[in-house]
């Protein structure tokens, strides 16, 4: 069962990345900030889709920073639980894939994305969906939903016998703090003064992942695109 779940998960991850790329606008002059850029591999793919070489990232692991910098990315070492180390109105695009669920203060995270974006710039934020069908199934069974089984650094897979990494340990920064549902994600970014919001989905367990594109409310992953439109911002 776990092998089947892992294959379905990998298919959903692949489609989710395709959704992210489809949401990017081509602009060779755009400046990109990738939050949690890891080794920079995905950052370069995003930059290639946008058509820009102005690639910037935030990462906390030294080894991953070195690999990202070797790919031509300007990386600042920083903890995403703190304010971003950038000036206001600096970037055209801010990207964060599977990051918002890990930060201790999602409000600070969203407000900082808004602050560093230029007016008319946009954010691409992707995260797991608390209302996915597999999470609903787990809840009905009285289990911890899949998206909240890694709430402890002592042991992953707590409360769910089908969790993929059940029994493994994980760094504290990998634990999930906040899981959004479809409507909640939209309203959360509206509260933080984003507009023009669009959300697409990927993954629709146990059906093929493409179903999530047609009906995002119960998809595995949610990917949001939202614009900073306060043109007279004096932040």
Q: Which domains does the chain have, with CATH numbers?
A: 2-228 (3.40.50.150)
For the chain of 235 residues, list the mean pLDDT of each consecutive stretch of 10.
Answer: 77 97 98 98 98 98 97 98 98 98 97 98 98 97 96 92 87 89 98 98 93 97 93 53
Instruction: Please answer whether residues 41 and 53 qualify as being in contact, where contact means their C-beta atoms are separated by less than 8 angstroms.
Output: no
pLDDT at 165: 85
Cα angle 57, 63, 65; round to 5: 15
pLDDT at 164: 84
The residues pairing with 55 across neighbouring beta strands, listed in sequence order, are: 32
pTM (whole model) above 0.75: yes
pLDDT at 5: 72
Residue 96 CA from chain centroid, whole number: 4
pLDDT at 109: 98
Largest CA distance in the chain: 54
């Amino acid at each position: 069962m776990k092998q089947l779940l892992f294959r379905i998960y990998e298919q959903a991850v692949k489609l989710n990345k395709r959704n992210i790329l489809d949401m990017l606008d081509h602009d060779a002059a755009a400046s990109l900030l990738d939050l949690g850029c890891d080794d920079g591999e995905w950052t370069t793919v995003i930059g290639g889709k946008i058509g820009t070489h102005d690639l910037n990232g935030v990462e906390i692991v030294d080894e991953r920073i070195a690999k990202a910098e070797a790919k031509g990315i300007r990386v600042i070492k920083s903890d995403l639980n703190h304010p971003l180390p950038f000036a206001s109105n600096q970037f055209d695009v801010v990207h964060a894939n599977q990051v918002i669920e890990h930060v201790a203060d999602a409000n600070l995270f969203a407000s900082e994305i808004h602050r560093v974006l230029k007016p008319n710039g946009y954010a691409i934020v992707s995260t797991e969906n608390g209302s996915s069908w597999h999470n609903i199934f787990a809840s009905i069974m009285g289990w911890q939903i899949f998206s909240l089984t890694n709430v402890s650094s002592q042991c992953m897979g707590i409360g769910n016998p089908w969790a993929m990494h059940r029994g493994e340990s994980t760094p504290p920064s990998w634990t999930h703090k906040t899981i959004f549902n479809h409507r909640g994600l939209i309203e959360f970014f509206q509260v933080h003064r984003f507009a023009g919001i669009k959300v697409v989905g990927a993954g629709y367990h146990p059906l093929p992942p493409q179903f999530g594109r047609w009906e995002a409310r119960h998809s595995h992953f949610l990917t949001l695109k939202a614009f900073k439109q306060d043109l007279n911002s004096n932040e």
